[in-house]
Structure 1
Amino acid sequence: MNSPTLNIKSKGPFELNLPKKTTEKFHLSALILTDIPQIFSLLRPTNINSIDIHKNTASLPYPYTLSDAERFVNKCIVEYTKTLRCNMWAIRNSNEEFIGYVGLYQTNEKYVIEDDQDKKFFNDSYGIGYYISLEYRGLGIVSSAVNLVCNEIAFKELHLNYVVGITFVDNERSHNVLERSGFKLVKLLKNAFKKSGEMRDVYWFIKEREVGQIQ
C-alpha cells in the first residue's frame, strides 16, 4: 500500500459522468504517496500547463517545489487517518495519473470580509477548491467532480446545508464551473484576498442543498 487509506470513508474511486462524450474515463480517489512526483510535474514553474493554475488558485505556493508536493500529500494522508474521512481527492485519468485536484476545506479566516454577518457565515462554512491540467479542460471533468463532491459527500455524508465557492473576478472559466455545478452568485467581495502581494476582488458563490436531499 502507498498510504494508510484502507479504512478511510469516501476515499473512492468515484467515476465521473462527463457531459461530453469521450472514450477516456476519469475518476476521483484519495491522494497517495505516488502522486507526489506527478503533482510536482504538473505544478512546477517550467510546466506551461500550470501557469494559470497558479494565477487563479488562492493557496498554492509559487514557485512550486517537490517539497511543496510532499507536504501537501502527507498533510492529506495525516488528515485522512486522523478523521477517517477523505475530503481531498485526486482527479485521475484512466491510467490512474494525477491530472487535477478537488477538495472541501474550511474557509476559516482566509478572506478579508468587512461585514460581520458575512464574516461569521464564512468562518462557519466549507468551501470547494479545484484545478486541472490545461490539456484536460473542455470535457466537463471539473464540473462533474464538483457536482459529485457537493451532492454525494458534502450534502449526503457531511450533512452540510451549503457549500461556498470563491473565484477571482477575472477567472471566467472557474465562474462557469461553479454555475454549471449549480452554484449561484451571491455578491462581489472587494479586496477580499491577498495574492502575490496584491489585494484582489473575488466573487462569492453558494450551492445549497436541495429540498428532499438526504440529511
Structure 2
Amino acid sequence: MNSLLNINSKGPFELNLPKKTTEKFHLSALKLTDIPQIVSILGPTNINSIDIHENTTSLPNPYTLSDAEWFVNKCIIEYTKTLQCNIWAIRNSNEEFIGCIGIHQINEKYTTEDDQDKNLFNGSYEIGYYISSEYRGLGIVGSAVNFVCNEIAFKELHLNHVIGMAFVNNEQSHNVLRRSGFKFIKLIKNALKKDDKMRDAYLFIKEREVNKIQ
C-alpha cells in the first residue's frame, strides 16, 4: 500500500455541491490565519460545537488557543517536511475556515478481539471530518468526503478501500458516509475510548471501483 509521501495535494480543490446553495466551497491546506476561526468553532464559548466534541476522539475538550496553534503548526511542519497534504481545511468563498477533513493511517486506534477486524484495520486509512453547525445540510461534507476518497485515496494513493468509523448515535455521520458511497459493515462493541468510557462504533467501508479508477 502506498504511503502519503509522494502527494503534494494542498489544493485549492473546488467542491461539487448539490444545488442547495450558489456559494462556492473548497478544500485547501491549513494556514496560520485559520487559528482564530478554529478556536471560534471548537472553543468552549461556542455551544454549537458540543456535538463535534461528543462525536470525535481526537479533539481536546475544552479546546483552547494553544490546541489550535499546536494543530495548525503541526500540519504546516508536515506539509513542509514531507511535501504532502493529508489534512485540509474546508473553506467558504471568503477563504474562511469552516471545517476540517483528513485521511490517516490507522495505528492501533481501535479495540477489537476479532482477527478479521484486526487484519482489516492493519495498514488501512480512515477518513475523519467536522464542520461548523451553520454550514450543515448543504452537502458540503459529503462532497468533501467524495473528493478525498475518489481523487486522493483512490487515484493518488491507489488504496483499495477507505474506512469510516462513527459512534452508534452519530446519525449525521452515518448519513454522510452512506451518501458518499460507504457501505455499513458491522457494529464493533467497545471500539473507542471516549471520556474514559469505551463506546460502540459502526464500521463503514468505501471500496475503490477498479473498473473506473485508473
Q: TM-score, normalised by structure 2?
A: 0.94
Q: Hey, which bits of structure 1, 4+ residues long, moved more than 3 A? A: none
* Aligned pairs, number: 208
Percent identity of paired positions between Structure 1 and Structure 2: 79
Any idea what the Cα deviations from partners look like across 1:128-174, whole Å, max 9, x if unmatched? Answer: 00000000000000000000000000000011110000000000000
- In structure 1, the residue corresponding to 2:118 is in which secondary structure? helix
Report the equivalent of 2:77.
Answer: 78
Amino acid at match of 1:11: K
User: Cα distance, 1:206 vs. partner?
Assistant: 0.3
CA contact (8 A) 1:20 1:140 kept: no
- Aligned residue identity for 1:26: F
For the residues of structure 1 that align with 2:205 and 2:100, how far apart are their CA atoms? 20
Secondary structure of the residue aligned to 1:34 is: helix
- Shift in Å, 1:79: 1.6
Once the two structures are superposed, residues 15-43 of structure 1 have per-residue CA deviations (whole angstroms, 9 ceiling, x without a partner) of 11111331211100000111111111110
Verify the 8 A CA contact 1:165 1:178 in the aligned structure 2.
yes
Structure 1 residue aligned with 2:197: 198
| Per-residue deviation, 1:123 | 2.4
CA distance in 2, matches of 1:128, 1:117: 20
Within a 5 Å distance, the mapping from 1:89-104 to structure 2 comes to 89-104=88-103
Secondary structure of 2:31's partner? coil
Q: Unpaired segments of 5 or more residues in structure 2?
A: 1-6
Tell me, what secondary structure is at the counterpart of 1:42? helix
TM-score (norm 1): 0.94
**C-alpha distance in structure 2 between counterparts of 1:121 and 1:152, whole Å:** 22
Aligned equivalent of 1:10: 9
Distance apart, 1:82 and its partner CA? 2.2
**Which residue of 2 is the match for residue 69 of structure 1?**
68
Q: Counterparts of 1:120-135 in structure 2 under 5 Å?
A: 120-135=119-134
Could you tell me how far apart the structure 1 residues matched to 2:34 and 2:19 are?
Answer: 27
The CA RMSD measured in Å over matched residues stands at 1.1
SS for the counterpart of 2:128 is strand
Counterpart of 2:32 in 1: which secondary structure? Answer: coil
Aligned to 1:174: 173
Letter in 2 for 1:202: A
One-letter code aligned to 2:189: K
**1:137 corresponds to which letter in structure 2?**
R
> Structure 2 CA distance, aligned partners of 1:109 and 1:82?
24
Pairing 1:79-158 to 2, within 5 Å after superposition: 79-158=78-157
Gaps of 5+ in 1: 1-7
Q: d(CA) in 2 for partners of 1:77 and 1:161? A: 28
CA drift at 1:69? 0.4
CA distance in 2, matches of 1:71, 1:120: 32
Name the counterpart of 1:5: none
Residue 36 of structure 1: aligned partner: 35
Q: What is the CA distance between 1:58 and its match in structure 2? A: 1.8
Q: Is residue 183 of structure 2 the alignment partner of residue 184 of structure 1?
A: yes
- Distance in 2 (CA, whole Å) between partners of 1:159 and 1:111 is 24
Aligned amino acid, residue 107 of structure 1: I
Question: Greater CA deviation, 44-53 or 132-141?
Answer: 44-53
**Offset at residue 198 of structure 1 (A):** 1.1
